[in-house]
Every structure is written in C-alpha cells, then in structure tokens.
A = this chain, B = another copy of it.
Amino acid sequence: MTEAGKSPKERDPEAVSRFVELFAGRLTDAGMARMPARVFAALLASDDGVLTSAQLGDQLRVSPAAVSGAVRYLSQTHLVSREREPGSRRERYRVHSDQWYEAVTNREALLRHWQSALREGVTAVGAGSPAERRLRETLEFFEFIEVELTDMMRRWREKREAAAGR
C-alpha cells in the first residue's frame, strides 16, 4: 500500500540501510564501538534526526539491551540526547546539529592525556639524551595540534553562523 503510486520515491529504505552500515563501518574504523556507531549512523540518516528505542532495534535488528547500551554511551559523549515524549514512556533519541563540534572538542581531553603521558616520559629518560629531545618534540607537536584544533573549531563555528544568518 505504501509502495504504490507515489511519484519518484524519495527515500529508498534499502539504500538508506546500506548507507547506515557503510558509515557505521567508517566510524568503527576510526575507533568507535560497533553498536554506538550503527545507532549514530541510523539517527544521522533518519528523517528528523529522532528515533525511538524500538525503531532503532527494529532497523538494526538488535535487542533492546543492545540499543540501551549504545545510547548510554552516545549520550555520555554528547553525540545524542535523550528526550521523553510527554505522556508516554517511549524515550526518543536525537542527534544534534553541533554533534561534530562536540566530538572534536572532546578529542581535546584525549590530547591532554597524551601530553601528560609525554611529560612523564621526558623526566623518565633523563635530561640531555636523544630520547629526551625526541619526546619533547613529540610533546610540542601535540601542543601545536591542540592550539590549532581550537582555532579550527572557532573558524567552523564562524562559518556556520555566517551561513545561518545569510
């Protein structure tokens, strides 16, 4: 019934599903766990950027437990937010428009950890050694990246704002 005579069909569920799995695979390559990656990709490709737990389980063919685990991770990392539909016990999960901004910003915490590990290394190998020089240079690189990343995200924000107010 839904298949019949509706002009060129805009949304091809099979193609969307292929995209979801493909993009989730790329996210997995980049280090995200599989299930969170699949859930995130599904939300990204959903019409309104909002899906219920049941819809997610249904589309991805996984148990409610798997969805639960994935969205817990995703909301902890601020990649999706949960909302309660008033007058219902269904929970809805939403992707944000500033998701990537958030994701990159979170990387900065990771960078700090690397820097602190390197500082320990610098003292451990002893002053004046080639190893010390190497570790210092590495530390410098990370410090450079941190500053650059901040600038970069500022430029992205400005660019977004310019496009929005156009």
Once bound together, how far apart are the Cα atoms of A95 and B135, in whole Å?
Answer: 12
Interface code A2-27, partner B: CB below 8 Å = 1, 0 otherwise?
00000001111001101100110110
Q: Is the CB of B16 within 8 A of A124?
A: yes
- Report the copy number of this chain in the oligomer: 2
* Pick from B22, B121, B137: contact of A117, CB under 8 Å: B22
Once bound together, how far apart are the Cα atoms of A128 and B138, in whole Å?
Answer: 46
Q: Is the CB of B15 within 8 A of A118?
A: no
The bracket for how many chain A residues form the interface is 35 or more
- Give the interface SS of chain A, mostly helix, strand, loop or mixed: helix
Once bound together, how far apart are the Cα atoms of A10 and B15, in whole Å?
Answer: 61
* Pick from B10, B49, B121, B155: contact of A19, CB under 8 Å: B121
- Interface, chain A (partner B; CB < 8 A): 9-12, 15-16, 18-19, 22-23, 25-26, 29-31, 44-49, 95, 97, 100, 110, 113-114, 117-118, 120-121, 123-131, 134-135, 137-138, 141, 144-145, 148, 152, 155-156, 159
